[in-house]
């Protein structure tokens, strides 16, 4: 498949990774099918996650069409790139249309990327899931491939300054496909997906080759592992306060 925009963007990204001296480890790449529709469901810990989750599909020579918030398409720089790479805008006020576009892409044999947590996890643990990924898989008749990222939060994430210092490790784990039948309970499959990805995250962190340099560098590790990131409960409260503040600042209709 000719990708006049996506291919150069991938090449540019790889050049950037080399310049940053990133050590990128991809495990389970064989789980991404070389043809046919599928959903990649990834955890979300940093602003660059779509790049690295997409990189996990490149050994199978696949390009991932990510579902992302519609506001990105308004950017004079990012907008044309998102359109050229055939990503899928998500308007929270018109979700049925983005669901339809994603469904058509899956039925056409594309891989669609989704972050079931919807927003970045400040705790770096896996938050509660939306069930949209499972319902899409049911209607399209495609599997869900769990994906776990680790280390991406150290470059750019919510509430932290960007850090482009060299030598960081990035771990990408692609799990075995989960089949979703039309008669399956979406909530049950969603819970299975969540549990699977939580286990994958444990394994990915355990094999991650780098550790915080000291107390001032422990922010990117979960509290239960000795880090100083917010707990999942604390992060949930922070997200709720942010949503309330955003709603208050929104212009009146």
How confident is the model over 120-140, as pLDDT tens digits?
Answer: 999 999 999 989 999 999 999
Print the SS3 string covering 212-243: CCCHHHHHHCCHHHCCCCCCHHHHHHHHHHHH
Considering the chain, what percentage of its residues have pLDDT values greater than 90? 87
Identify the domain containing residue 106 by its residue range. Answer: 6-218
Asked whether residue 42 is domain-assigned, the answer is yes
Q: Is the pLDDT of residue 246 over 90?
A: no
Q: What is the pLDDT of residue 252?
A: 62
Contacts of 119 (CB under 8 A, 6+ apart): 44, 127, 239
* CA neighbor of 175 nearest in space, from 26, 8, 21, 12: 26
The answer, yes or no, to whether residue 203 has pLDDT greater than 70, is yes
**Does residue 172 fall inside a structural domain?**
yes
Reported as type and span, the H/E element at residue 64 is strand 64-69
For residue 99, the surrounding DSSP H or E stretch is: helix 95-107
Residue 63 belongs to a domain:
yes
Q: Is residue 247 part of a domain?
A: no
Residue at 43 is within a domain:
yes
Does 216 have pLDDT greater than 80? Answer: yes
The overall average pLDDT reported for the chain is 94
Q: State how far the alpha carbon of 150 is from the alpha carbons of 53, 97, 236, in Å.
A: 11, 32, 20
CB 3 within 8 A of CB 63: yes
Length of the chain: 253
Task: Give the chain's domain count.
Answer: 1
Residue 112 belongs to some domain of the structure: yes
Of the candidates 68, 45, 71, 42, which has an alpha carbon nearest to the alpha carbon of residue 55?
42
* Residue 85 three-state SS: coil
DSSP state, residue 207: H
Pairing verdict, β 64-69 and 111-114: parallel
Cα 18 from Cα 2, distance rounded (Å): 25
Segment 162-184 shows an average pLDDT of 96
| DSSP H helices in 35-94 | 49-55, 78-84
Task: Confirm whether 227 is domain-assigned.
Answer: no
145 in Cβ contact with 99 (< 8 Å): no
The token pair at 149 is 């990222």
pLDDT digits (tens, 9 = 90+) for 58-88: 999 999 999 998 889 988 888 999 999 999 9
List beta partners, residue 27: 173
Q: What number is the average pLDDT over the span 188-201?
A: 97
- 14 assigned to some structural domain: yes
pTM, two decimals, is 0.95
CA angle (199 as vertex; 228, 234 as ends), nearest 5: 30
What is the pLDDT, as a whole number, of residue 253?
A: 58
């Amino acid at each position: 498949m000719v990708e006049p925009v996506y291919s150069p963007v991938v090449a540019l990204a790889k050049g950037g990774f080399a310049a940053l001296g990133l050590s990128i480890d991809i495990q389970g790449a064989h789980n991404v099918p070389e043809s046919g529709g599928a959903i990649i469901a990834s955890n979300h810990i940093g602003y660059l996650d779509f790049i690295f989750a997409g990189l996990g599909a490149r050994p199978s020579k696949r390009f991932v069409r990510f579902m992302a918030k519609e506001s990105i398409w308004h950017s004079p720089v990012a907008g044309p790139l998102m359109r050229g790479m055939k990503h899928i805008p998500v308007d929270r006020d018109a979700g049925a249309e983005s669901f339809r576009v994603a469904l058509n892409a899956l039925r056409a044999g594309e891989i669609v990327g989704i972050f079931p947590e919807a927003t970045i996890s400040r705790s770096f643990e896996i938050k509660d899931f939306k069930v949209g990924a499972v319902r899409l898989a049911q209607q399209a008749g495609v599997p869900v491939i769990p994906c776990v990222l680790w280390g991406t939060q150290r470059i750019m994430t919510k509430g932290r300054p960007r850090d482009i210092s060299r030598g960081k490790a990035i771990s990408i784990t692609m799990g075995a496909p989960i089949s979703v039948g039309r008669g399956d309970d979406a909530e049950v499959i969603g819970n299975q997906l969540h549990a699977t990805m939580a286990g994958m995250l444990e394994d990915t962190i355990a094999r991650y080759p780098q550790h915080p340099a000291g107390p001032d560098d422990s922010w990117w590790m979960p509290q239960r592992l000795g880090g100083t990131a917010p707990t999942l409960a604390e992060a949930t409260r922070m997200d709720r306060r942010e949503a309330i503040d955003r709603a208050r600042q929104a212009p009146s209709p």
